Amino acid sequence: MKIKTLTCLLGFGLLYGTALAQVSLKGEIAGLKSDSLSFFYALDGKSKQITVPVKDGKFTWADELKSPVRMRVMVPVDSVLLGYTFYAEPGMLTMNGSAADRATVQKIKVTGSKNQDLYAEYSKLKETAYSEYLASGKKIQQATGGNKAALEKEMAVYHDQFFSGIDEDFITKYPDAYVSMDLLSRIISSGTYEQMSKLYNQISPSLKQSPVAKTMASKLELLKRSGIGQQMIDFTLNDYQGKSVSLADFKGKYVLVDFWASWCKPCRAENPNVLKAYNKYKDNNFTVVGISCDDSVEKWTQAIKEDGMPWTHVRDRKDRKSAIMDYYGIAAIPSTFLVDPSGKIIASNLRGAALDKKLVQLFAVKSK
């Protein structure tokens, strides 16, 4: 078979092109008790699943690719399938490791892919940050008084670093790497338009020709609706007593529009922070409007009661969809918009210490 070659080579691996090049993977996983392995990936926007035969833990796979791809192989361990993610790109790759237990599966190593090398670097950064985040949480549980407040600020820093800082720094450092574009595609709906458009604009022009990048461009258009200075759409929804509530009812106030649900653990964990902000600033022309995407009215109202949230609550759920969340492209909750008295969005996705910091700045300026 004659192999076509790509002309756009960079130090990070192959960028998206129009020609095909072959990728070959040769693997050996010790203790693999299976006669086959399943690989999953997307090619030209379409999902693919392939199954390769395994003999004595050894296997091979080959295909033709236009660019690197993120793959997930399912490894059987004690009758359970464990996923291992890696990046394949045109060239000769090797996969080695053990299927002894969950920990060893995560230590499987793929060589020959520069994007995989970068992904390993990224994964190590995330692992370290998450360990620091958990450690700070344990310190807080044991702390009291002023020391606890200082530790909570420290934890907020680790939180931001783990959930967004590392991703943004990595994409900025490696804008020509396919893994950076793929990473951005997975976080693009979780940030602000200002943040995400800045990162998107750093991605190389060649990478922007890929289906993944074109999908991101569409998502950016959704995010633009929630950009700073944009008018928040007015909505009319019912509260848990069946009373009609509109955003226009709160004109003249600063409003934190909080998207959440009773089943969302991060939302429930954040509710005490929102309650603290509400109690602290409710006399400063500030309020909260909670928009739930709960299917169950009973669980929704029970959560409001359990978490002691005295502000206005409405529910936006029909046919398992939320019209407002769809309009703004909100893919994960909790998610918030801070709206000024004229109805314009002045901040988004403020949580914990970040919410308090913004409100301190806002009302310090307002009181002058």
Q: Which domains does the chain possess?
A: 9-110 (2.60.40), 118-224 (no CATH), 236-366 (3.40.30.10)
pLDDT of residue 181: 93
Residue 326: CB atoms within 10 A of its CB come to 11
Name the residue among 303, 302, 292, 306 with its Cα closest to residue 261: 292
Contact (Cβ atoms closer than 8 angstroms) between residue 20 and residue 4: yes
Contact (Cβ atoms closer than 8 angstroms) between residue 64 and residue 20: yes
Residue 15 pLDDT level (bands cut at 50, 70, 90): very low
Dump pLDDT digits (tens) for 130-152.
888 778 777 777 777 667 667 66
Please state the length of the chain: 368
How high is the mean pLDDT of the chain?
A: 87
pLDDT of residue 14: 43
pLDDT of residue 199: 93
Contact (Cβ atoms closer than 8 angstroms) between residue 148 and residue 140: yes
Name the residue among 191, 201, 186 with its Cα closest to residue 165: 191
Contact (Cβ atoms closer than 8 angstroms) between residue 34 and residue 51: no
Residue 9 pLDDT exceeds 80: no
Residue 368 pLDDT level (bands cut at 50, 70, 90): very low
pLDDT of residue 79: 85
Residue 311: CB atoms within 10 A of its CB come to 16
Dump pLDDT digits (tens) for 49-106.
999 999 999 999 998 888 899 999 999 998 899 999 999 999 999 999 999 999 999 9
Q: Which residue has the higher pLDDT, 19 or 75?
A: 75
Cβ-count burial of 146 within 10 angstroms (0-12 exposed, 13-18 middle, 19+ buried)?
exposed
Average pLDDT over residues 29-41: 94
Residue 159: what are its φ and ψ, rounded to 5°? -60, -50
Residue 163 pLDDT level (bands cut at 50, 70, 90): low
Contact (Cβ atoms closer than 8 angstroms) between residue 309 and residue 274: yes
The widest CA-to-CA distance across the chain, in whole angstroms, is 75
